[in-house]
């Protein structure tokens, strides 16, 4: 399958290989289902190799969760800055970024949203801040759309929770049509059979942006 991590993380030498192995195992088995020995055996190295970079399994897991959430926020911010300034275009750009990340890196995305109780205190603080920044980006766009009369959204927070849920669930059930099934994709493989026609990532980006605009009561929607 394609890289489990964005290029800038996967390319980081021995650390990148360790992060990639951790993503694969944690996503498939959960935090408690993976030991340090599992991780290092997967790489064919000794446990001391992990401890040379991380004080514990919790530290490694915490960094992955932080990096994943930071990536989501950064991609959303980048797409927002590059988009047309209309509120509907900005909301679509945010949804596109969220959907693309969760469909391109589903295992990494799975780690982003699970086992928060295992995070170190410092990581939990940073992860929460990163997620809040992503929420604030979307909230600002919806509030602006309401102010301009482009949207009719009486409860922005509920709309944001639903829109964010699109991406979170995509990581569970979606794999690109041309991607070899990964070890954690048993359920996703079943869903592909239920779906019938394969959906591309671009199709899902368009579809979910349409759903998001409906949720916020976009007044330009005529369907």
pTM of the model: 0.88
Q: With cut-offs at 50, 70 and 90, classify the pLDDT of residue 188.
A: low
Distance CA 46, CA 66 (A): 25
- The answer to whether residue 163 scores a pLDDT higher than 80 is yes
Which run of H or E residues covers position 63? helix 57-82
At 54-70, the pLDDT tens digits run 888 899 999 999 999 99
Interior/surface letters 158-178, b for 16+ CB within 10 angstroms, e for the rest: ebbeebbebbeebbbbbbbee
Distance CA 104, CA 106 (A): 6
Residue tagged 């489990």 (tokens): 4
Contacts of 213 (CB under 8 A, 6+ apart): 88, 91, 92, 220, 221
- The predicted structure's pLDDT at residue 185: 61
- The predicted structure's pLDDT at residue 75: 96
**For residues 205-214, average pLDDT:** 96
At 44-55, the pLDDT tens digits run 878 777 788 888
Which run of H or E residues covers position 37? helix 36-43
């Amino acid at each position: 399958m394609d890289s489990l991590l964005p290029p800038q993380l996967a390319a980081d030498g021995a650390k990148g290989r360790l992060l990639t192995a951790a993503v694969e195992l944690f996503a498939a088995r959960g935090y408690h289902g993976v030991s340090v020995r599992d991780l290092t055996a997967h790489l064919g190295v000794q446990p001391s190799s992990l401890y040379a970079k991380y004080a514990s399994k919790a530290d490694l897991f915490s960094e992955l969760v932080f990096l994943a959430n930071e990536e989501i926020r950064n991609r959303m911010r980048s797409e927002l800055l590059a988009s047309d300034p209309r509120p509907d275009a900005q909301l679509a750009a945010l949804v596109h970024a969220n959907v693309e990340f969760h469909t391109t890196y589903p295992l990494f995305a799975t780690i982003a949203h699970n086992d928060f109780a295992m995070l170190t205190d410092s990581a939990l603080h940073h992860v929460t801040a990163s997620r809040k920044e992503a929420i604030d980006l979307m909230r600002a766009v919806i509030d602006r759309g309401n102010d301009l009369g482009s949207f009719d959204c009486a409860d922005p927070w509920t709309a944001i929770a639903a829109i964010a849920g699109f991406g979170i669930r995509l990581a569970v059930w979606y794999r690109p049509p041309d991607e070899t099934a990964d070890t954690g994709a048993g359920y996703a493989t079943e869903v592909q059979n239920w779906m019938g026609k394969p959906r591309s990532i671009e199709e899902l980006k368009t579809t979910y942006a349409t759903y998001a605009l409906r949720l916020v009561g976009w007044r330009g929607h005529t369907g």
